Chain A
Amino acid sequence: MAKTKNSIWVFGDYRNYFQNRVTLQLLSRANELAAKKSAEVCAVVFGHDLDEWIGEYIAHGAQTVYVIEHPSLKNYSIETYTLLLETLARAYLPEIILIGATSFGRELAPRVAKRLSTGLTADCIGLDIRTDGLLVQTAPSFGGNLLAEIVTPDSRPQMATVRPGTFQEIPHDYEATGSVIRLPLPDNLPQDRIRLISSRRMPDREKKIEDSRVVICGGRGMGSKKKFKKLFELASLLDGEVGATRPVVYSKWTDEEALVGQAGKHIKPMVLFSFGISGAIQHTAAINNADFIIAINKNLTAPMMKMADVAVVTDANQFCTALIKELKNRIRSR
């Protein structure tokens, strides 16, 4: 492969607020990585009416923004976006391409990697530059039980998708300047073979458990469906969302939608309350990224209690009642 330019690219994923945040988080980390190898940080963005995003990316650390703007790119389209990113990568030879691990990013990245015959690490939770300049990508492996450090020694670009929330964005800098390179839509663009018939935003899931800063998870140790419902009252006091384990969902104490686990939602709250959960690995694999865990269980030896910051040995249901009461008191006393 031809000699690559010393640049780190971040794919501009802006379709909703959440995706835009991961792009900004990646720009921030790309700047830290770039400092270690004197590289340039670039954002790449496709779509229509992009000025807002171009400005945003520059304000958050992009030194250069590659832009392909055209009305026909208004909706995300996997085949066209793949082709555009492939074409730009072949033309400008970036050393590294980082893509947010959103649904779209996880569909785009493997295709681009395949077209460029290069390596891709999925769903990274850590990125660093080794002394020899290689990108070290840390990603969960084997259902989140282990972490693997992965490198792409010989192929370029080195590509990774990164889990949203892994890195902190840098604050908006109104003074920042960057260069904008506008490129035309290639003329011979083939017709997209995947036709978008309809697309609508889901308003209901706007507030999602995956993004919630506080999550209250409940297991069978809550005792009954009726007692489980108390967690919702607690959640509303804490501005959080309720999650559940597989047995709770099976018992129909709450909807499948609330399942936190390998086959359900993966969460990364700042505070996680875990009520009456023993901690089967299918569940704990999905909560590895919680910052602070308070687990309540009668049994101190439960795996969930072992991985908690605070392990409360008592009846989950009674503790929930006491916590609700105390919270109401504290919130009222303001």
Chain B
Amino acid sequence: MVSELPWDSRTGTLQREIAEGMINPACRHAIEAALQIRASHGGQITAITMGPPMAEEVLREAVAIGADKGILVTDRHMAGSDTLITSFTLAKAIEHVCGKFDLILCGCQTSDSETAQVGPQIAAELDIPGVAYVESLEIDDRKVRMQRLSDNFIETLELDMPGLATITTQGYSPRYVSLSGLEDAFDQADIEIVDADDLGLPYDLLGYRASPTKILNVYSPTAEKKNIVMKGAPKKIVEQLFEKYSDKIGGAIGKDLKLVKSK
């Protein structure tokens, strides 16, 4: 899960080296969707990620779950990419290693910053139709039909392959993978590693330098709470609570909660 990811509270950067090995929850659901599609329609599943060399473990895990192969896009020149540059780099890698893809599935958001931007931006970069927040999808020949909840609307949408969908954690509960399966995958997984030179990408288009957004400052939201402690018998505390905060609670619900003494 997201917040278990180890971040360095001093610098505010994610300690990605330690964080790796934990696939994003939403990405697990996306892998499950891919496995179900392959089970009924055939095909080959390629898991792809961008990150430091340690991210290879995520791909081994994906292969253990059932992906056919893994692609790790890694290069020190890619460090510090924001979503615009991440989606650019990933799109280039997808074109390079599996340009004839039918469908790209992404977790609808990543665990470290939850921007939910990379999926839609990959679709825009590759100029393919893409749909976000998909809960379930069906394939009929080259058509992909998807269900989702967008704001307050239940929508059914359809696109022709090739396309992209980002998958929520609502459907496609990830399957259980046995420990031995994981161990085998760690030994045998087919993982290809590509860097900027393999992709023919100039370094000045990559990483922090190329990213339009810059982080000025990262800080921990300081608690401005008074943290008043109340102790004692429940009944007494309830009385105290209303004495002090009946306005606050009443204000939120639009009712006057001050006690009117009956005569």
Q: Which residues of A contact B (CB under 8 A)?
A: 15-16, 18-19, 78-79, 82, 102-104, 106-107, 109-111, 113-115, 117-123, 136, 140-155, 193-202, 205-206, 213-214, 238-240, 262-263, 269-271, 281-282, 285, 288, 292-294, 300, 306-315, 318-319, 321-323, 325-327, 329-331, 333-334
Q: Nearest-CB distance from B164 to chain A (Å)? A: 11
Contact at A282–B231, with CB atoms within 8 Å? Answer: no
Contact at B259–A330, with CB atoms within 8 Å? Answer: yes
Contact at B153–A199, with CB atoms within 8 Å? Answer: yes
Interface residues of B in 115-160 (CB under 8 A from A): 115-118, 120-121, 123-125, 128-133, 145, 149-160
Give the distance in Å from the alpha carbon of A154 to the alpha carbon of B84 in the complex.
Answer: 14
Give the distance in Å from the alpha carbon of A270 to the alpha carbon of B248 in the complex.
Answer: 9
Contacts of B258 in A (CB 8 A): 330
Contacts of A330 in B (CB 8 A): 242, 246, 257-259
> Is B235 located at the chain interface by the 8 A CB criterion?
yes
Task: Please pick, from B116, B152, B231, the residue contacting A18 in the complex, using a CB distance under 8 A.
Answer: B152
Contact at A111–B152, with CB atoms within 8 Å? Answer: no
Interface residues of B in 1-44 (CB under 8 A from A): 1-5, 7, 9, 12, 14, 25
Contact at B83–A306, with CB atoms within 8 Å? Answer: no
Q: Nearest-CB distance from B239 to chain A (Å)? A: 7
Q: What's the interface size class on B, roughly? A: 35 or more
Residue in A closest to B235 when the chains form the complex, CB atoms: A322
Task: Please pick, from A16, A82, A293, A327, the residue contacting B124 in the complex, using a CB distance under 8 A.
Answer: A82
Q: Which residues of B contact A (CB under 8 A)?
A: 1-5, 7, 9, 12, 14, 25, 82-84, 87, 111-118, 120-121, 123-125, 128-133, 145, 149-160, 163, 169, 211-221, 223, 225-235, 237-239, 241-242, 245-246, 248-249, 251-260, 262
Contact at B228–A195, with CB atoms within 8 Å? Answer: no
Contacts of A114 in B (CB 8 A): 84, 87, 120-121, 124-125
Q: Nearest-CB distance from B229 to chain A (Å)? A: 5
Given contacts A106-B116, A148-B12, A309-B227, contact A143 B2 (CB under 8 A): yes
Give the distance in Å from the alpha carbon of A193 to the alpha carbon of B159 in the complex.
Answer: 6
Contact at B257–A327, with CB atoms within 8 Å? Answer: yes
Contact at B217–A148, with CB atoms within 8 Å? Answer: yes
A-B contact pairs, 11 of them (CB 8 A): A103-B151, A142-B12, A197-B158, A262-B2, A307-B223, A308-B225, A310-B230, A312-B230, A322-B235, A322-B237, A326-B242
Contacts of A326 in B (CB 8 A): 235, 238-239, 242
Contact at A141–B133, with CB atoms within 8 Å? Answer: no
Q: Nearest-CB distance from B228 to chain A (Å)? A: 5
Contact at B212–A152, with CB atoms within 8 Å? Answer: yes
Task: Please pick, from A214, A288, A313, the residue contacting B230 in the complex, using a CB distance under 8 A.
Answer: A313
Given contacts A102-B151, A113-B121, contact A319 B237 (CB under 8 A): yes
Contacts of B128 in A (CB 8 A): 193
Contact at A293–B121, with CB atoms within 8 Å? Answer: no
Q: Nearest-CB distance from A334 to chain B (Å)? A: 7
